[in-house]
Amino acid sequence: MSEGDIFIHEYDEADLENGMVIVGFPSVGLVSSIASNFIVRTMKLARRAAIISKHFPPFTIIHEGIPSPPVRIYAGQRDCDNKGERCEKLAVITCEFMPQPDLIKELSNDILGWCKKKGIATILTLEGINIGNESETTVFGVGTTERTREMLKTYGVKDLREGMVTGISGLLLSEGERYQMDVICLLGSARTDVPDARGAANLLEVIGDMLPEIKLDPEPLIKEAEQIESEMQKAMESVQQPKKPAEYSRLYG
């Protein structure tokens, strides 16, 4: 594989200056993908770009009759009561497969580069975490800057004090800290064996505090998340991926 095997194709121009981007690649229980898809549907965000690579699995996502590449970027205006400097625009990057390990570094760098180009103020990446207790609904958070750590305190999110965050979320955190970009990772407890709609709902409750225009009535939320879970399960079953032991983000006790 050579540098430049991944690129971002923009269908049209999106003004995201001082906005927020939510990143949802599959993780434990698919909670990040389920949650990011829920946000796209609920806020009726429009597809604005796609991340393309010949190394991605060969499948196409069909939504409302329109075919799209596996990794999509949606965007739109936020409808906030608090019209602050950082409360106007929102983008969501989502997909239904985890890229090969040797693609993750370049993919993370391309996402960060695109965010810099667009003038994104805050990157919010979503991750599932196995804490060994299915009844536990804890959501942990990690921030790369003093501002993002203060944001987590404001929303009552418990600090992840010790542990390891893997994959794209892990690299977005480490590179974000290195360049002092505002990156937050939310890690929600989830089951490891099946897609976990309720685990995604726990993540969405925190995101709902950050994005109050997302109306979070618990029962419709669970039903919608379960529908997305079912669709994603079918999509994943149709893609033959190598069965390798998964390495999960985790806590250190």
Q: How far apart are CA 46 and CA 38, in angstroms?
A: 13
Which helix H or strand E contains 26, and what residues bound it?
Answer: none
pTM of the predicted structure, to 2 decimals: 0.85
Overall average pLDDT of the 188-211 stretch: 85
Handedness of CA 149, 153, 154, 158 (dihedral sign): positive
> Which stretches within the chain are classed as H helix?
31-42, 101-118, 146-154, 167-178, 197-210, 218-237
Q: Which domains does the chain have, with CATH numbers?
A: 6-238 (3.40.50.10900)
Greater confidence (110 vs 191) lies with 110
Reported as a single tens digit per residue, the pLDDT across 127-168 is 998 876 655 678 999 999 999 999 999 999 999 999 999 999
H helices then E strands: how many in the chain? 6, 13
Reported as a single tens digit per residue, the pLDDT across 212-250 is 776 666 566 667 667 776 776 776 676 555 444 456 666
Assigned token pair, 200: 């995604």
Residue at token pair 């804490």 = 131
pLDDT-based confidence at 92, cuts 50/70/90?
very high
